Amino acid sequence: YGYDEVRTWYFEVWNEPNLSYFFTGTQDEYFKLYDYAARAVKSVDSRFRVGGPATSCNSWIPDMIRHCREENVPLDFISTHHYPTDDPLWRNGGISVEEFFKKIGGTLGSYERGVLRKMTEKAREEAGNLPLIYTEWNTSAMTRDSKHDESYASAMIAKTLADNDGLVQGYSYWTFTDIFEEGAQIPGAFHGGFGLQSYAGIAKPAYRLFQLFHGLGTKRIGVSSDRIGGTVEALAAETESGYRIIIYNHNIPDAPIGTENVRIDISAVPGKKSLSLYRIDDAHANAAAVWKQAGSPEYLKPADVEK
């Protein structure tokens, strides 16, 4: 790749060292591992970027910064992970893997609406002037959560991206595909996997939502509403060819949510107007719904994938 390319990369040390599933040592032992790794990276080129602690639940950020300052260890960015199902474990920062999986296995949906914004605000404050990068997040931390395949995911992703705009320097959704073997590959065309795509490469509603965001451009504009306290929100941006408005209706799992009528007033936009509508819901851009209508076959033929 060459030095110029590699200088644009972020070298993250380890993965979730606060969970014994991934790291059986102590926090101090992780810091020792980080020290060796960070100094090795910098020994190749001082402009290579290295950071951590790559923890689950927004953990260890103040401790990481304090250690690196006291020991004069390079730290170019803060990285961590979060999921809404981390709530309330993220509030204290120190958890065991047993606590973590007991929580997400038993009480999915108990978190409050918009909790990822609160997590990010706390991590942003703790990170100070360092870039903050989330290298994992999703609508839940469960690998068999059917909502990963449904339009619910697209609505929550839209809210999360809108809420966290400007708070982070990187926000990496976990993950690209259901080809995922951390705990063995799970069978089934749609099985609630983490991926934006099924193992056959079929785009889920979450993937389609990211497609819409990809066309937003970089200039966000304000949106106002005459209704307060509902589940419908919007984000708008100016693009090279006009404006794009993303409207989403989101609530936490098992909480009340209804069909809403939305009126968009763009009378302040000058000139002639044309409109294109893209919809993601239970009947549009929803491959899992089509699969269920076909009888939920475990294995798909090429013709099924093409649909």
Task: Tell me the pLDDT tens digit for each residue of 227-285.
Answer: 777 899 999 998 888 889 999 999 988 888 888 889 988 888 777 778 899 999 999 99
pLDDT digits (tens, 9 = 90+) for 146-176: 999 999 999 999 999 999 999 999 999 999 9
Supply the pLDDT for residue 270: 78
| 3-class secondary-structure state, position 279 | coil
CA 28 to each of CA 32, 40, 113, 245, 277: distance values in angstroms, whole numbers, following the listed order: 6, 18, 35, 47, 53
Q: Is 136 one of the catalytic residues?
A: yes
Q: How do residues 59-100 score in pLDDT, each as one tens digit? A: 999 999 999 999 999 999 999 999 998 876 656 555 565 666
Domain ranges (residues) in the chain: 3-214
Res 47: pLDDT: 98
Contacts 24+ apart (CB under 8 A), 87-93: 87/111, 87/112, 87/115, 87/119, 89/57, 90/57, 90/58, 90/59, 90/119, 90/122, 93/57, 93/58, 93/59, 93/60, 93/61
Query: Does 307 have pLDDT greater than 90?
Result: no
Residue with tokens 């989101």: 250
| Residues 74, 57, 128: CA angle, nearest 5 degrees | 40
According to the model, what pLDDT value does residue 95 have? Answer: 57
pLDDT(11) > 60? yes
Angle between helices 61-71 and 27-44 (to 10 degrees): 60
Reduce the DSSP state of residue 61 to 3 states and report it. helix
Percent of the chain with pLDDT strictly greater than 90: 66
What would the mean pLDDT of 193-204 be, rounded to a whole number? Answer: 95
CA 73 → CA 63, 78, 252, distances in Å? 13, 13, 41
SS3 80: strand
Q: What are residue 244's DSSP bridge partners?
A: 237
- Which pLDDT belongs to residue 91? 65
Catalytic site includes residue 233: no
pLDDT digits (tens, 9 = 90+) for 95-146: 565 666 665 555 554 788 999 999 999 999 999 999 999 999 999 988 889 9
Point out the catalytic residue in the list 12, 126, 136, 233: 136
- Which is it for strands 77-82 and 132-137: parallel, antiparallel or unpaired? parallel
Is residue 234 within 8 A of residue 245, CB to CB? The reply is yes
Other Cβ atoms within 10 Å of 216 Cβ, number:
18
Sign of CA dihedral 244, 275, 210, 143: positive
Q: What is the spatial distance between Cα 231 and Cα 241, in angstroms, rounded to a whole number? A: 29
pTM, 2 dp: 0.91
Whether the CB-CB separation of 159 and 232 falls below 8 Å is answered with: no
CATH superfamily of 3-214: Glycosidases (3.20.20.80)
Beta-bridge mates of residue 53 = 79
Read off the pLDDT of residues 12-28 as tens digits, 9 standing for 90 and up: 999 999 988 899 999 99
Nearest to 15 by CA among 50, 54, 49: 54
Rounded distance, CA 32 to CA 34, Å? 5
pLDDT of residue 202: 95
Between 102 and 201, name the one with better pLDDT.
201
| Catalytic hit among 16, 126, 150, 233 | 16
Token duo for residue 289:
């719904």
**Res 203: pLDDT:** 97
Among 88, 81, 141, 136, residue whose Cα is nearest residue 110: 88
Site of tokens 């059917």: 146
Half-sphere exposure of 65 (CA within 13 A, CB side): 17
Summarised one tens digit per residue, pLDDT across range 25-54 is 999 999 999 999 999 999 999 999 999 999
pLDDT at 255: 87
